[in-house]
Structure 1
Amino acid sequence: MNVSTPDRNVAGRLSFLDRHLALWILAAMVAGLGLGRLVPGLGGTLATVTVSGVSLPIAAGLLVMMYPVLAKVRYDRLGTVTRDRRLLLPSLLLNWIAGPALMFALAWLFLPDLPEYRTGLIIVGLARCIAMVVIWNDLACGHREAAAVLVALNSVFQVIAFSALGWFYLSFLPGLLGLAQSGLDVSVWEIARSVLIFLGIPLAAGYLTRRIGERTKGRTWYESKLIPRIGPFALYGLLFTVVILFALQGDAITSQPLDVARIALPLLVYFALMWSGSMVLGRAVGLDHPRATTLAFTAAGNNFELAIAVAIATYGATSGQALAGVVGPLIEVPALIGLVHVALYARRYFTPTTPTALEDPAHA
């Protein structure tokens, strides 16, 4: 199968910002670290105002990042996704059985002597992604409507299952295996509040934007005129969030590099195994490339907003558990942007469908 032409066409349609996104993210990381080190007290100042346990600047960046992507979703197509058992059942299996179990195993394998960091990583594994995954999926030509459905599904299960899974992986299972136990004090309301803020607000805004825009101007105008205007704000929000994340923890990251490296290693293994395993599973069950890509990114990503909030609320802002939660997105951002390129390369191993994501203007 010759994929060189469509690959070139996609590259040609990318904006200057999109084509060099890895460079901009690296620059944002460096800028954040520099700010965190050079401006005394900046991290403390940024962390003083919080929403659902997360710094308000981070929350603002995430909302700006998610809104344009969710405004691109064609909500009238969601019905076909909700009936796709080949997508939904593997997603539930990967997110709520395989993902937490894998992070538990890796945390104990790589951090047997560091209980605070180990607990923080297990919490990260329990918090399934409902936010930043939408932009990775979009950049990798994943299926937008499928991403919206899987993110919504994760949010529902998160509210229902997070506390129970926290008890299982931090208390019951370690006790059963003769390992050290820990506790997790988080209410269902705290989880629901996080979901409502980080998914509910941008989802409602995106839906209303499309609904009102199409009613007043029509779908052609909406997708050819409005979407190109608001689309770049997703990447602006991403870069702003990266700068703030690194600025908040710049001092801790640069003063504890060995600790950060030990936390980073199991995270890198986790992202690689979850993403590649999900992609292979998607192809094995007959998903096309856009849906398999969406399955992979929704399984590999984690809800670091919730993980950080839970770690801070339960163990304190200066705890090792909180540091592990913060290191999560710092490793996830470069790891998943790298996997975006792998996903684009992997198209050649999938049978083209009609219409393909590349041919559909909604995914251009």
Structure 2
Amino acid sequence: MWNLLRWLNKNLTVAIPALMLAGFGFGLVAETGSLKGLILPFTFLMVYPMMVTLKIRQVFKGGSGKTQALTQAINFAVIPFVAYGLGRLFFADRPYMALGLLLAALVPTSGMTISWTGFAKGNLAAAVKMTVVGLVLGSLAAPFYVQALLGAEVTFDLPGIFRQIALIVFLPMAAGYATQRLLVRRYGQEAFQKSVAPRFPGLSTLGVLGIVFIAMSLKAQAIAARPGELLTIFVPLLILYLFNFVLSTVAGKMLLPRGDAIALVYGTVMRNLSIALAVAINAFGSAGSDAALVIALAYIIQVQSAAWYVKLTDRIFGPCDVSPHLRAE
């Protein structure tokens, strides 16, 4: 089982499109109303394992202040407004799809931020801090951004969204941290990091694939009626990710050392689509399936682009000089 989960986690570029196709086929031939009861369990399965491996204490260590400030400036002062503008341009008459694009841009960083930064030999300590800070800030700020930018066009209950955020993010975070401390006490820090923690991302991947399947099943009939809809979603997503990569790369090259620059790219481009998907499908009722479809398609672009960027890293930033500040603390 663990080998299968590891394979799925390493092959999201194959697994996510496969589950989307499976969900589409299921939605065409079966009644999908019963799937809604599985949303909450899959949401917890998606978020909780990610929290078990989150290094919350890393936030309180010093260093990389300039990198962190630049990262959060891009994450909260630039990218959400670019996503909002693209939503207005491409989804003027589909406000919940515009909502999906905005949600995909509002919760930055995920476990993938740390993984891809490591693959590219960037500053892992900075990436860990970005992940925790971005997750907390994004979760708290997202409802306010939605209200300010799309409040007149989408129906939602602000206190209700905060309750969903607490249920989707902060409850699993608390449970995950408690689990982490229990496992560390039982197995020791070294054994936890080497043997126990690597198993959890695979469990999170199962949750992601389950939610993707459900989201696609719920939208299957609508997509079949308008097959060109997928292309209209892909175009703004591609523009958003391309803009994000270019902006972060240029800013990193101009302002930061190599390791921090790589962390900046992955700390801004890698959005926490798991939480965005969970919010869309839990907090906005049946209308949230439009938003969920946009976020599900964003997975494909995000994972593919991250993998290609690793291959181009040395060409963009120069070869790696393995010095102490590039290693995880």
- TM class by shorter chain equals 0.7 to 0.9
- Mark the CA change 1:266 to 1:23 in structure 2 (over 3 Å): closer, same or farther: same
Could you state the TM-score of these two structures normalised by the residue count of structure 2? 0.80
Q: Write the letter of the residue equivalent to 1:339.
A: S
Look up the match of 1:46.
35
Q: Write the letter of the residue equivalent to 1:46.
A: L
Give distance in 2, aligned partners of 1:236 and 1:324. Answer: 22
Q: What are the within-5 Å matches in structure 2 for residues 1-364 of structure 1?
A: 15-39=6-30, 41-42=31-32, 44-47=33-36, 49=37, 57-80=38-61, 84-111=64-91, 114-115=92-93, 117=94, 119-127=95-103, 128-130=105-107, 133-141=109-117, 143-167=127-151, 182-286=152-256, 287-298=260-271, 303-308=276-281, 311-312=284-285, 317=286, 322=288, 324-348=290-314, 349-350=316-317, 351-352=320-321, 354-355=323-324, 360=328
Instruction: Count how many residue pairs are aligned between Structure 1 and Structure 2.
Output: 310
Are the equivalent residues in 1 in contact too, given 2:100–2:280 (CA < 8 A)?
yes
Q: Which moved more, 1:325-334 or 1:236-245?
A: 236-245
- Gaps spanning 5+ residues in structure 2: where? 119-126
Give distance in 1, aligned partners of 2:204 and 2:78. Answer: 30
Are the equivalent residues in 1 in contact too, given 2:76–2:106 (CA < 8 A)?
no
The structure whose residues are more often helix, as a share, is 2
- Gaps spanning 5+ residues in structure 1: where? 1-13, 50-56, 168-181
User: In the TM superposition, what is the alpha-carbon distance from 1:135 to its structure 2 partner?
Assistant: 4.1
Are the equivalent residues in 2 in contact too, given 1:107–1:266 (CA < 8 A)?
yes
Q: State the percentage of identical aligned residues.
A: 19
User: In the TM superposition, what is the alpha-carbon distance from 1:219 to its structure 2 partner?
Assistant: 0.3
Are the equivalent residues in 2 in contact too, given 1:65–1:238 (CA < 8 A)?
yes
Find the residue that maps to 2:270 and give its secondary structure.
Answer: helix
Are the equivalent residues in 2 in contact too, given 1:138–1:144 (CA < 8 A)?
yes
Give distance in 2, aligned partners of 1:300 and 1:278. Answer: 19
User: In the TM superposition, what is the alpha-carbon distance from 1:310 to its structure 2 partner?
Assistant: 5.7
Could you state the TM-score of these two structures normalised by the residue count of structure 1? 0.73
User: In the TM superposition, what is the alpha-carbon distance from 1:26 to its structure 2 partner?
Assistant: 2.3
Give distance in 1, aligned partners of 2:20 and 2:142. Answer: 29
Are the equivalent residues in 1 in contact too, given 2:245–2:265 (CA < 8 A)?
no
User: In the TM superposition, what is the alpha-carbon distance from 1:341 to its structure 2 partner?
Assistant: 0.4
Q: Write the letter of the residue equivalent to 2:306.
A: V
User: In the TM superposition, what is the alpha-carbon distance from 1:147 to its structure 2 partner?
Assistant: 0.7
Which has more radius of gyration? 1
User: In the TM superposition, what is the alpha-carbon distance from 1:129 to its structure 2 partner?
Assistant: 4.3
Are the equivalent residues in 2 in contact too, given 1:140–1:340 (CA < 8 A)?
yes
